[in-house]
């Protein structure tokens, strides 16, 4: 019996969905637009975050040691620094490695290799490359190292040189995060409101039918279920539309994002997370549709 | 079958719709309720299908007081009653067939029952050849016949008809009345509210007249107008 009920109300919902034609089209469009706005906001937020993380990853502070400090002493200092909770990673770059990197950067430029040959001795210094957990901690780390017991071994710390750049980046990251979060919340809120209103109007159009159904002897469940299913259809079909729209958007944005996301551009991000995006779209579409429907219909079922 | 005991209905705003109604309707009766607009006919009928509850007094259906039926059981009670209205109240997105089938679907009728009963009942009311039409494709008289079919399909104990011919031309009106009589002959109680004089006079059956919420006349074989 339960199964028959479910089958019948499902069919009712489906019939309502396609027989309502324009009304369904309008509802799905509104739902799709809100879902699109919400997901673009979220995806932009996630992308911006990844891009910023990548940039953050490239920031570091190098501590250069005097040329007479032995490698063992440097490694000893490295071990001490590992204990700092602000430090995420420390890499030791010896003189020779530094020279190699330098040569690589210079490429096959003959004048650079000639100049190096003329110097004879390796002019570069050994260094510890330090990455902090968050960009605003570089200041603390640099100060701590500058005033430490081994400060006499240090030739220079390049933090001072990069200080303004790092600080500017830090504040940009903070602003982007805050603005993104605020905008995200606002858009999600607007999206929910729009959807709720659209579904409420749809239900209002059905208002007289609720009365008829009650008079014919339909129980509240029997009246409500088809509209729940209708809400599910609205949600699912708008999710599918948004899925296509998002793909188009990411294609459009892909030249801008090329290279800034690890592993390619935004299109590959889209496909890389296809099932997450697909799942959350369907889920949020269906939830939005269903709950708006249930809340909207409740007032007409009070007898 | 139906019993009104000292029933009054006062709507918000102190509007007195019914006052001290005592009325007994027996199984198989055909009762016409007449009176001017606003005399309380519709309210009387609404009390029977429990769309409204009395402010004072009780309405009994087969000795069961209606105001004691809780909301959850109301749909089950309503399945005993077939309702027909002036404005038809058909579901616009459903065909004639589906509208009638709906009444069976919500009362847990099986697929076999639906497939058998719905065409049969539509045939009885003369709509067998228009089962797949939507209400907007049907005339007023045809829509009302579909409503009657929907009311009948569950084999109700009583049919409540509130001005069923109010929107119909004379020919359709008479067809609907004939159908109601036929239904009544098959044993179903009919409660008809009407202010169509010619119908009530031709029926020559029990007439209850309401005026300002009170019963002023109850004749076993009455006419629309009371002649002194």
Region B1-21: mean pLDDT is: 91
- What per-residue confidence (pLDDT) applies to A259? 60
Kindly determine whether residue A16 and residue B89, on different chains, have CB atoms separated by under 8 Å.
no
pLDDT in tens, A106-122: 666 777 777 777 777 77
Name the residue in chain A with its Cα closest to that of B78: A217
Q: Which two tokens stand for residue B144?
A: 């009302």
Between CA B82 and CA B164 the distance in angstroms is: 12
Check CB contact of A298 with chain B, cutoff 8 Å. no
Give the rounded distance of the alpha carbon of B77 from its chain centre: 15
Is B79 close to A5, i.e. CB distance below 8 A? Answer: no
Of B181, B188, B183, B195, which Cα lies nearest the Cα of B25? B188
Which is higher by pLDDT, B60 or A90? Answer: B60
How would you classify the pairing of strands B189-193 and B30-34? parallel
**A:B CB pairs within 8 Å:** 56
A205 touches chain B (CB under 8 A): no
Yes or no, beta carbons of A217 and B102 under 8 Å apart: no
Tokens of B59: 């309405």
Contacts of A65 (CB under 8 A, 6+ apart): A73, A74, A125, A126, A127, A128, A153, A154, A155
Q: Residue A264 — pLDDT band, cuts 50, 70, 90?
A: low
Contact across the interface for A8 and B103, Cβ inside 8 Å: no
Quick check: B71 contacting A, CB < 8 Å? Answer: yes
Closest CA to A222 of B161, B128, B79, B172: B79
Q: Residue A49's pLDDT is what?
A: 75
Strands (E), A152-219: 154-157
Helix (H) or strand (E) holding A215: helix A207-216
What pLDDT shows up at residue B57?
92
A63 SS3 class:
strand
Residue among B79, B91, B111 minimizing CB distance to A217:
B79
**pLDDT tens digit sequence for A161-174:** 677 777 787 788 78
- Tell me the two tokens of residue B211: 């005026």
* Percent with pLDDT over 70 in chain B: 99
Q: Is the model's pLDDT at A217 over the cut of 90?
A: no
For residue A214, give Cα distances in angstroms to A170, B9, B71, B72, B79. 62, 22, 11, 12, 10
Mean pLDDT of B198-227: 85
Q: A218: which chain B residues are within 8 Å (Cβ-Cβ)?
A: 75, 102, 106
Residue B48, CB-side half-sphere exposure with 13 Å CA sphere: 30
Residues 218-257 of A with CB under 8 A from B: 218-220, 222
Residue with the two structure tokens 């420390």: A90
Mean pLDDT of B31-50: 90
Q: For residue B151, give the chain A residue with the closest CA.
A: A216
DSSP run (H or E) holding B58:
strand B56-61
Distance from B153 to chain A by nearest Cα, in Å? Answer: 11
CB contact under 8 A, A20 and B93: yes
CA distance A80 to A54: 28
pLDDT, position A1: 64
pLDDT at position B228:
45
- Residue with more model confidence, B212 or A98: B212
Q: How far is CA A282 from CA A19, A36, B94, B223, in A?
A: 23, 12, 29, 65
Over residues B70-120, the pLDDT tens digits come to 888 888 888 889 999 988 899 988 999 999 999 998 888 888 989 999 999
* Residue A260 confidence class, pLDDT cut points 50, 70, 90: low
A104 in B contact zone (CB under 8 Å)? no
Sign of CA dihedral B37, B39, B40, B45: negative
* Beta-carbon separation of A5 and B103 below 8 A: no
The angle that helices A207-216 and A159-205 make with each other, rounded to 10 degrees, is 50
User: Where is pLDDT greater, at B147 or A202?
Assistant: B147
Test A213 with B91 for CB contact under 8 angstroms: yes
- Residue A302: predicted pLDDT: 64
For residue B227, what pLDDT band results from cuts at 50, 70 and 90?
A: low
Can you give the pTM of this predicted structure?
A: 0.71
**Average pLDDT in chain B:** 90
More confident residue, B67 or B29: B29
pLDDT band at A79; cut points 50, 70, 90? confident
Comparing alpha-carbon positions, the chain A residue that sits nearest to B70 is A303
pLDDT at A4: 82
Most confident of A127-136, A246-255, B30-39: B30-39
User: Can you tell me the distance from the alpha carbon of A44 to that of A180, in angstroms, rounded to the nearest whole number?
Assistant: 8
CA distance B76 to chain A (A): 7
Task: Write the pLDDT tens digit of every residue in B127-163.
Answer: 999 999 999 999 999 999 999 999 999 889 999 999 9
Q: What's residue B99's pLDDT?
A: 94
For chain A, strand residue ranges (E) read 61-65, 87-93, 127-132, 154-157
- The residue-averaged pLDDT of A52-74 equals 80
Average pLDDT of the segment spanning A265-274 = 74
pLDDT in tens, A228-250: 888 888 888 988 998 898 888 88
The residue of chain B nearest to residue A20, with distances taken between CA atoms, is B93
Chain A residues inside the 8 Å CB shell of B74: 303
- In this complex, the residue of B93, B102, B103 whose CB is nearest that of residue A16 is B93
Q: What is the ipTM of this complex?
A: 0.81
The nearest alpha carbon in chain A to B100 belongs to: A216
Computed over every residue of chain A, the mean pLDDT equals 80
């Amino acid at each position: 019996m339960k199964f028959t009920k479910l089958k019948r109300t499902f069919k009712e919902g489906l019939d309502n969905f396609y027989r309502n034609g324009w009304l369904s089209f309008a509802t799905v469009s509104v739902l799709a637009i809100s879902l699109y706005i919400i997901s673009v906001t979220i995806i932009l937020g996630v992308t911006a975050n990844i891009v910023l993380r990548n940039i953050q990853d490239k920031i570091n502070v190098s501590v250069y040691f005097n040329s007479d400090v032995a490698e063992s002493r440097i490694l000893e200092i490295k071990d001490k620094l590992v204990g700092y909770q602000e430090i995420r990673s420390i890499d030791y770059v010896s003189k020779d490695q530094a020279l190699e990197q330098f040569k690589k950067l210079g490429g096959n430029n003959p004048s650079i290799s000639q100049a190096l040959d003329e110097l004879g001795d390796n002019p570069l210094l050994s260094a510890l490359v330090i990455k902090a957990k968050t960009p605003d901690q570089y200041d603390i780390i640099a100060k701590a190292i500058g005033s430490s017991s081994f400060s006499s071994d240090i030739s220079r710390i390049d933090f001072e040189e990069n200080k303004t750049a790092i600080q500017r980046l830090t504040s940009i990251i903070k602003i982007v995060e805050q603005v993104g979060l605020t905008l995200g919340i606002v858009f999600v809120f607007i999206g929910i409101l729009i959807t709720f209103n659209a579904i409420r109007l749809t239900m209002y159009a059905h208002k007289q039918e609720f009365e008829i159904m009650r008079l014919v002897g339909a129980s509240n469940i029997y009246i409500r279920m088809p509209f729940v299913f209708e809400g599910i259809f609205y949600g699912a079909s708008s999710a599918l539309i948004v899925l296509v729209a998002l793909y188009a958007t990411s294609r459009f944005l892909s030249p801008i994002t090329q290279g800034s996301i690890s592993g390619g551009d935004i299109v590959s991000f889209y496909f890389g997370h296809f099932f997450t995006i697909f799942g959350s779209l369907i889920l949020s579409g269906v939830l939005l549709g269903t709950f708006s429907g249930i809340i909207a219909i409740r007032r007409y079922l009070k007898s | 079958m139906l019993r009104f005991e000292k029933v009054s209905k006062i709507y918000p705003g102190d509007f007195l719709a019914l006052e001290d109604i005592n009325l007994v309707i027996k199984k198989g009766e055909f009762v016409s309720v007449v009176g001017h607009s606003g005399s309380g006919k519709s309210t009387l009928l609404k009390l029977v299908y429990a769309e409204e509850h009395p402010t004072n007094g009780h309405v009994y259906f087969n000795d069961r007081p209606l105001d004691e039926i809780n909301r959850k059981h109301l749909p089950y009670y309503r399945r005993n009653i077939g309702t027909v209205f002036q404005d038809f109240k058909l579901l616009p997105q459903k065909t004639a067939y589906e509208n009638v089938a709906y009444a069976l679907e919500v009362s847990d009728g099986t697929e076999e029952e639906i497939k058998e009963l719905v065409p049969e009942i539509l045939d009885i009311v003369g709509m067998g050849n228009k089962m797949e039409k939507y209400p907007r494709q049907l005339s007023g008289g045809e829509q009302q016949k579909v409503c009657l079919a929907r009311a009948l399909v569950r084999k109700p104990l009583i049919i409540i008809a509130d001005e069923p011919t109010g929107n119909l031309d004379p020919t359709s009106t008479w067809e609907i009345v004939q159908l109601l009589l036929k239904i009544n002959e098959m044993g179903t109680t009919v409660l008809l509210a009407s202010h169509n004089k010619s119908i009530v006079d031709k029926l020559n059956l029990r007439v209850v007249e309401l005026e300002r919420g009170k019963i002023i006349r109850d004749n076993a074989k009455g006419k629309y107008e009371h002649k002194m």
